[in-house]
Structure 1
Amino acid sequence: MEDFFNIAVPIVTIFVALPWLFLHYMTKWKQAPKITHEDEQLLDELHLLARRLEDRLNTVERIVAADNPDFKPSLSQPEWRPEGRLGRTDYSLDRRN
């Protein structure tokens, strides 16, 4: 009887349990909500708005820094610069010196 379990358990695991587990999560993955075209457009608009606001802030900081040599910019994070690629705006990281 022990030999039967030593052979049956791996066979059942390989041919029943693993495919069932794979197909179960494949079904869950396909049922997951997907981003709609409208959501993608909204995200693109929000991203462009954030870029414009950041550009305005950088402009204001440059103007203030030109008037006041003791001024330190509030943004200590890296500055993002657009680079065109494949017809879409792509942003790459440009570290401030």
Structure 2
Amino acid sequence: MFDAEMLDVPIIIFMSVVAPLWLILHYRSKKQVSQGLSEHEHRQLVELAHKAEKMAQRVETLEALLDQESPEWRRKV
């Protein structure tokens, strides 16, 4: 019927190859998450924040111009 020796080879392969790789990759990803943003990612985030501030200023300017030119524009939207 069922031979216990049939499981020996897959278990040995799993324990010697798959399990160590699994553990290494798992703890490497945990380490990267705990370290936070890389310097490059931080720089990108700061750049995006700066662009968002400029965009907000432009929107405020456009709204002010629209308020002067067409005071009813807010009701149309």
Greater strand proportion: 1
Higher RCO structure (Cα 8 Å, ≥6 apart): 1
Greater helix proportion: 2
Q: TM-score, normalised by structure 2?
A: 0.49
